[in-house]
Structure 1
C-alpha cells in the first residue's frame, strides 16, 4: 500500500519547517532509505518564474533548505535545480534563484545551485506517448531526484503538484514544443506521467504550508493550508494533496491517466500517516472550472471540427488586461502556437490558433492575463 505522510506546519519559520519535513520523512523510514553517502541528489523545486516566496507561486526556500539539510545528514550532496518558463540560460537561473529566495538559503546553508544549462535527449521506450525526452543535463548527472512541489491550482491542468512539477526537467522553450505536440489535456497529462516514469523520483515532498488557489499557477491567491506532505509515490502524494483542498482526484487528469496505468490508487487505498488529513482539509479552496473539457469531449469529440468551433466560440480563453500590461512580450515569446502578437505594444490573441495551454497566463509577471469562462458551461455538470 502506498504511504503518504502528513505533518502540520503553520508558517515558514526555518525550525518549524525542518521539524515538519523531518517528521514526514521519518514516517517514511528516514532519508537514509532514499539517499546513500556520496550520492548527488537533484532537488527538483517548482521555480516557475521570478516570484517572491510570499506570492506562493514557487516552492518556498525553507522547504528546499530543510530537504537539503536532511540529504546532507544522510551523506548526500543536494543540488537545487529547475528549468523555469522561458529561456533556459544562466542569467535567467540567477534571476529566478535570487527572487525566489533560493540564492539566500543556498548561501546560508552551503547548498549547490544548478547553473548547467546544457540539455540532452534521452530514450524512454516505456513511455506511452513520448518515447524520447529532451531534459536538462543536470538531471542525468544526478544519482537521485527528490521532487519538492508547491500545491497550486492550474488553469489548464486544474492542479499542479508532484507529477506536474517534473515538467520542469524539460528545458526552457522546449516546453512550448511539448505543449504544441500534446494539445489535448489527456495527451498532455499522459506526457506528464511519461516524464514522471522516466525521472523516477526517489521521494516527493509537497509544500502545502501556503498554497495557491484561484487563477493558478502564478496569478492566483496565496491560501494557507498548513501542512507538509511526503511520499515515495508522486501519484499517491497528488491524490492526498488534492483531497486535502477539496478537489476530487477523479477531476485531475494526471491522476486519472496514472490510475489507468496502475500507478495510482484511490485515497481509500493510501496509507495516511502522521497528522489527520481530515483535520487539515479545506472545503472552500477556489479552483478553476473545467466543466467545458468534459462537455466538449463527451458530446462532440475532443478534436472534431465542431468541437474546435465550439471551443473557439464558447470555450475558455485568455483575456489580456491592457491597463496593467507593461508590454514585456513574455506572453508572445512563450506562446507555443505563436497565437499572440503585439499591437500598439499590447498582446492580442488569435483564438483560432490558441491551443488553450494558458502559458501566457502562467508566465505573465504582472498577472494581467485572466482566463474567461463562458456562462454556457456553468450549466453543465
Structure 2
C-alpha cells in the first residue's frame, strides 16, 4: 500500500542548456515550452490536475529557493526558465485569482535582501514573463508571530505574512547538495519563510547539528500544497553555493514534501535516511520516507539516478594560507567556516599575495585544548561564535586575541552568519579594509 505519490518527468533536449552550462544564461523560448510541458506532466501525474489543489478564486504563492544574491549561472538558485514555465502553467491551467512569487534569501553579499537577490537571479523577469500577478520581496513585508505546535527546537517563529495569507503554497526548491544539510530540497526551502536576525535567531538560529530537526519543526508552520523540484540542472560537490552543475532535465512533483525529498535524494544517489531534515520530518510523522511506500510514477528511479559528488564540510587543511582550529567545534561553525573559505577562494583572490601583504590568517571556534596562543601572535585572528567562552580553554583564546595583529569576532551562535560574514571580512582584509567586527 502506498502512502504518497511522486512523479518524475524528464524533458527532451533543451537547446539553451549548452550556453547555460558554459557560463551564460540566455532565455530560449523552446526551453520554456518544453519545461512547461514537463511541469504539466509532472503535476498531472502527481495530482490529476491543478484543480485538485487550487480552487476557483484562490491566491497561489510559489516559493522558490533563492538562498543567495547570485546570478542564474551560479546554479545556486532556481532556474529562471522553470519559474517562467511554472507561473505560466498555473496561470493558464488553474482557476487561481492570482499567482504570487515570493522568497527571502538567507545568505549572500547582502544578507537578507530579497529584491536584489530575486532580480540578480533573473527570477523577477522570469516571473513577469510568466504572468505573475505579484512579486513579493518577503523582507519588505509584515511579520506574524506564530507558535509551532509539536516542535522540538523551533517552537516560536516570526513568519512573513504573505506566506500565511496565500490560499495555496507551491514549494519550488532546487536539486542541490548542501554542506550542512547533505542536500537542500523542499524541507530546507522553508528557511526562507522567516527573517534574517543577526547574529542569532530565526534563519540564523538552530543551524548546528540540529539543523535537520529545525527544518522539520519549521515545516509544521504550514505544509506545502504541492512541491515541484527544479531538477533541470542540479548541483553536486560544494553546494549549496560553490558546487558544480549537473544536467538532469527533470521535474519532480508531489503533495507530500517529505516523500518528494526522499525520492529526489535517491535520484542524487543518497539514501533518504541520510538526509537529516527528511529523517526528522518522517520520524515526526510529517510525511513518508520509505521509497517502498511511495508510488513513483513517470521515470523509474534507476533510469534517472546519478550519484552526485558529496559536499566536504571540513575546513581544516584546505587552504595552506588559512589555519583553522576546530577541535571542539559543533558542525554548525565547522561546515560554515568551510563554506565561507570556499566562497572567498572562489573569488579568485591571490592568497599568497594577500598573506604576504596583510599577514597570516587563523580561524578559531569552540574549545581548543591543544591550541598554543603563541600561534596567533602577529596574525589576523577570526573567532566564531560565543561558545569558546564556555570551555576550560577560554583563557587560551583570550591570550591569543591579545597577541594577534587583528581580531574579528562573530558573536552569538550564528553559523549562517559566519558563512556570509567571514567571507566578507576576508575580502575586506584582502583590500586592507577594517573587518566589520573588530576588538
Question: One fold, TM greater than 0.5?
Answer: yes
Matched, 1:43 2:62: yes
What CA RMSD, in Å, does the superposition of the two structures yield over aligned residues? 3.5
Tell me how far 1:141 sits from its aligned partner.
Answer: 1.9
Matched, 1:98 2:116: no
Distance 1:218 1:362, change over 3 A: farther
Larger Cα-atom Rg: 2
Alignment of 1:61-100 (within 5 A): 61-72=80-91, 73-76=93-96, 77-85=98-106, 92-100=113-121
Distance 1:60 1:310, change over 3 A: closer
User: Secondary structure of the equivalent of 1:182?
Assistant: coil
Partners in 2 of 1:240 and 1:175 — Cα distance?
Answer: 35
| Match of residue 264, structure 2, among 241, 265, 279 | 241
The TM-score with structure 2 as length reference comes to 0.68
User: Any idea what the Cα deviations from partners look like across 1:277-306, whole Å, max 9, x if unmatched?
Assistant: 2111113x11124799xxxxxxxxxxxxxx
- Unaligned 5+ residue runs, structure 1? 293-306, 327-336, 338-345, 370-381
Partner of 1:376: none
Tell me how far 1:176 sits from its aligned partner.
Answer: 4.4
Partners in 1 of 2:116 and 2:228 — Cα distance?
Answer: 24
Partner of 2:135: 113
User: Secondary structure of the equivalent of 1:114?
Assistant: strand
Distance 1:227 1:176, change over 3 A: farther
Matched, 1:200 2:223: yes
- Unaligned 5+ residue runs, structure 2? 17-30, 316-325, 351-364, 366-378, 387-409, 428-439
Tell me how far 1:178 sits from its aligned partner.
Answer: 3.6
Q: Is the 8 A contact 2:61 2:168 kept in 1?
A: yes
The TM-score with structure 1 as length reference comes to 0.77
Partners in 1 of 2:88 and 2:159 — Cα distance?
Answer: 26
| Match of residue 191, structure 1, among 200, 210, 214 | 214
Partner of 2:42: 24
User: Secondary structure of the equivalent of 1:220?
Assistant: strand
| Match of residue 357, structure 1, among 408, 415, 419 | 415
Q: In the comparison of the two structures, how many residue pairs are matched?
A: 333
Tell me how far 1:65 sits from its aligned partner.
Answer: 2.2
Distance 1:110 1:192, change over 3 A: same
Tell me how far 1:138 sits from its aligned partner.
Answer: 1.3
User: Any idea what the Cα deviations from partners look like across 1:125-162, whole Å, max 9, x if unmatched?
Assistant: 23233332111111122111110000111111111001
Partner of 1:153: 177
Alignment of 1:290-305 (within 5 A): none
Q: Is the 8 A contact 1:5 1:229 kept in 2?
A: yes
Partner of 1:122: 146
Q: Is the 8 A contact 2:104 2:195 kept in 1?
A: yes
Tell me how far 1:19 sits from its aligned partner.
Answer: 0.7
Partners in 2 of 1:5 and 1:19 — Cα distance?
Answer: 14
Q: Is the 8 A contact 2:72 2:121 kept in 1?
A: yes
Partner of 2:250: 227
Matched, 1:268 2:292: yes
Partners in 1 of 2:228 and 2:64 — Cα distance?
Answer: 10
User: Secondary structure of the equivalent of 2:164?
Assistant: helix
User: Secondary structure of the equivalent of 1:125?
Assistant: coil
Partner of 2:189: 165
Matched, 1:211 2:234: yes
User: Secondary structure of the equivalent of 1:198?
Assistant: coil
| Match of residue 10, structure 2, among 8, 11, 27 | 8
Matched, 1:34 2:58: no
Distance 1:359 1:325, change over 3 A: farther
Distance 1:348 1:43, change over 3 A: farther
Tell me how far 1:242 sits from its aligned partner.
Answer: 0.8
Q: Could you say which structure has the greater relative contact order, defined with CA pairs below 8 angstroms and 6 or more residues apart? A: 1
Partners in 1 of 2:89 and 2:198 — Cα distance?
Answer: 32
| Match of residue 309, structure 2, among 274, 286, 298 | 286
User: Secondary structure of the equivalent of 1:190?
Assistant: helix
Tell me how far 1:80 sits from its aligned partner.
Answer: 0.5
